[in-house]
Amino acid sequence: MRLAGKHALITGASQGIGRATALALAREGADIAINHYPDPDGAHRRNAEAVAAEVHALGRRSLVLGADVAQEKPSADMVAQAIREFGALDILVNNAGILRDATLRNLTRQQWDDVLDVNLGSMFNCAKPASSHMRERETGSIVNIASVIGLTGNFGQTNYAAAKAGAIGFTKSLAREMARYGVRVNAVAPGFMDTDMTRTIDPEIKENIRKQIPLGHFGTAEDIAAAILFLVSDDARYITGEVLSVNGGWYM
């Protein structure tokens, strides 16, 4: 197993790419802390508990940690709890993300702030305490989920594109800071994937997008999880500051 004895924290892990990543890392031997948004009706927690049960069925330890990662203190408390429960934190996957699409003319400041706070601010909130812990141990791996939209831009997504482009710059800068301590920092930039987030796109628009993908189909959450698994494993021990694009050739 490539991750035997490792401990990982994955934000936004109650569904989609986060869930797929939790299971992929658990199959390779990692214990998993599953973060979810603490929604009032408890739907995200129930989903996270279901993921935790799947992790447990694979023979690994799991934690369910509710925290709004757009907020600094809850994020720091969550990282501290994962370290306390597991004894160490070897892997952080900053996956939490939301969409609030609108053209700039119609975009509200709240929609702008929400997307920047969750998609980019959460990376600061979680990576700061996690990287401090990893620096002290002189080992660790952080993977930030960017997007092809951060590389290309997209109509009606100035907020999302700004956040994901920021994630790429954040990744490269933190990689330079942490390399001397043996901590690697990379990013995965998914293309248009078949996830809950993209299922809200108008079917006609989705079909037009699909036709532009050289491989001819949308990717899956498992495709992204496989890329993350590679980057956090020793197979990628000499890779840091990189952005691994997983988009079926849509952007080269």
160 as an active site residue: the answer is yes
47 Cα distance to chain centroid: 17
Burial class of residue 119, CB neighbours in 10 A (0-12, 13-18, 19+): buried
Helix (H, G, I), strand (E, B) or coil at 126: helix
| Strand pairing report for 31-36 and 62-66 | parallel
Show the tokens assigned to 207. 């079909």
Residue 121, CA distances (Å) to 23, 96, 97, 126, 198 in order: 25, 10, 10, 9, 22
Which is the catalytic residue, given 37, 160, 181, 238?
A: 160
Which residues are known catalytic residues?
A: 160
